[in-house]
Copies of this chain bind each other. A is one copy, B any other.
Amino acid sequence: MRITQEADYALRAIYYLSTLDAGARASANVIAKEQNIPLRFLLKLLQKLRDAGLVESFMGVNGGYALSKQPKDISFLDVIEAIDGPIYINRCLYDPEECNNLGVEYCSIHKALHQVQEKLKKDLSSINFQHILDENGSKEV
């Protein structure tokens, strides 16, 4: 019942980009150092964030990465699902064929888990990076 370390890194990479001026770029090297993320691992996960449309990348000298949306329009759910894939809290909800009980439709347990899952996704989608910026800004030491 965990998000992967990779998704945790991704949240922090997006957070770091959120702290920059709108449209500003940061190289993977800088993000890696600032957020203490292994560089090569970061490079790989940034591809996923790009494929998901959350960041844009720029090659060459002065290249790097920038958010492709405003911080307020990027949720935790967006980032986590970009990295880990869609959230399914159990196997049956992911692939009903694998349900070795009666099937999701007829199984009260799986129905109940489904409701929990949807609440979880709603909670994660209600947090965006503007919230995080605001919280940090007001508590700056």
Chain A residues proximal to chain B, CB less than 8 Å: 1-3, 5, 7-8, 11-12, 15, 35-37, 76, 80, 84, 87-92, 94, 100-101, 108-109, 111-113, 116, 119-120, 123-124, 127, 131-132, 135-136
Number of this chain's copies in the assembly equals 2
CA distance A100 to B137 in the complex (A): 21
Q: How far is the CB of A82 from chain B (nearest CB, A)?
A: 13
Chain B residue at minimal CB-CB distance from A79? B109
Across the interface, A3 reaches (CB within 8 A) one of B1, B5, B108, B123, namely B1
Can you identify 17 A-B contacts, CB atoms within 8 angstroms? A1-B1, A1-B84, A1-B88, A2-B89, A2-B91, A3-B90, A8-B109, A11-B109, A12-B101, A35-B101, A36-B101, A108-B135, A109-B132, A111-B135, A112-B131, A116-B123, A119-B120
